[in-house]
Amino acid sequence: MDELLNNKTFAVHAAAAAAAVTLGTTLTYPLDTLKVLIQVGSTAGKPLNEAEVLYRVRALSGYSGLYNGVAWMTLGRTLGLGVRFGVYEVVTAFYKDGREDDYVSVAEALMAGFVAGTAECVVASPFELIKLRAQVASASPTMHVPSVSEKGVIPTLPSRLLPRYSMDMKAMSNSMGLLSTLTTQHRHVNMFDALKEYPWMMTGSGKPPPVNNVQMPSDIVSLEGWTAMWRGLRSGLVRDSIFGGVFFSSWQFLHQAMLSWKAVGMDPVPRYDTEAGPLSPIAVTLAAGVSGSIAAAASHGFDTTRSRSQCTVLPKYVTMERKFLKWKRPGKRFERLTGIHPADRNLLLNGISLRMARCGLASSVIVGSYFLAIEHLVSN
């Protein structure tokens, strides 16, 4: 009977958490779309603003384009937050073991948050990549669908790597024009068809296909390989570990400050935090929102790096060539360790206000709706 009751309690909490995450993600997703498009679309000489990005999305995809990829984001965030809070509870359980009071210091919460954020990054990375590609597609021109005659022209190897992509014949003709200066003895008998057999000529220009044409999971795996699902893992690990550490330590600090303030007027003064009683759901909700905004500001530079890395299409043959040539990452030692590209140094703070607003609002909504759902479900 006790086991059945425990399973029912766990199911209630899981359902409340999933509903809270879905609500928080749906309400704040347009802010995330605008933030991502500003991060990946800005250059050092031409930064984008919210109005420009919103106009482009509305013109190409309509307002519904702001929700491209929301299902992937919801699924990834549900699993990621479950791992983050689960790992945090497990780690802090070791800290609280043997103590008379369930007390966790700010430093302990910081270290536990680092571990929890790292675990969350590994789990949520594939969903975040697909979500970001869908968001970029909402601000990109519609992909050209090849006709039946065009499909017959595309050679076997490129068509296997990216089945729904049509080769840019104009770019191929321009490439042929550049090669026309070769002497007859250095030219292939049928150079036009020969070039199309090479995967790096999929676009006709030697460049990878645009990111909006490589957004489906099957296309990503086929062209870029399974490892692409964890692209930008270095910067992602740093971002999520900092976010988790700052979020939980800030929340613990605010939680402790509110408990101390509540205990001031009590007689006798409580010896332990549990004697002061629980805080109101509104206070906990506001503390979560403030902690989310602070954590977003602290980790935003690495979020920009992660977004720009995931927006890059890197075919498998390029990755293989880099491995054979022992390609070294550009930049200083810190940049190589954290995955920051030197060209992105002046772009790291782009979209920081949007991310702070999104993380703060999402944290408040998730925590507040979770407590509301638990109170309603348990009372029933």
Residue-level pLDDT at 234: 93
Domains of the chain with bracketed CATH: 2-140+226-379 (1.50.40), 148-209 (no CATH)
Going by pLDDT thresholds of 50, 70 and 90, the confidence category of residue 223 is: confident
At residue 122, does pLDDT exceed 60? Answer: yes
Residue-level pLDDT at 330: 85
Pull the structure tokens for residue 164. 């729904």
Q: Is 183 helix (H, G, I), strand (E, B) or coil?
A: coil
Contact (CB, 8 A) for 131 and 310: no
pTM of the full structure:
0.83
- DSSP letters, 334-355, are HHHHHT--GGGGGGTTTTHHHH
Going by pLDDT thresholds of 50, 70 and 90, the confidence category of residue 25 is: very high
Going by pLDDT thresholds of 50, 70 and 90, the confidence category of residue 210 is: confident
At residue 55, does pLDDT exceed 90? Answer: yes
Q: Average per-residue pLDDT in the chain?
A: 82
pLDDT in tens, 136-173: 999 887 655 444 444 445 455 566 666 666 666 565 56
At residue 313, does pLDDT exceed 90? Answer: no
In the chain, which residue ranges form alpha helices assigned H by DSSP?
2-41, 50-61, 70-96, 106-138, 148-153, 156-161, 169-179, 191-195, 217-224, 233-263, 281-310, 316-324, 333-338, 352-379
- Other C-beta atoms within 10 Å of 125: how many? 21
Residue-level pLDDT at 163: 62
pLDDT in tens, 84-109: 999 999 999 888 887 777 788 899 99
pLDDT in tens, 263-289: 776 666 666 666 666 778 888 899 999
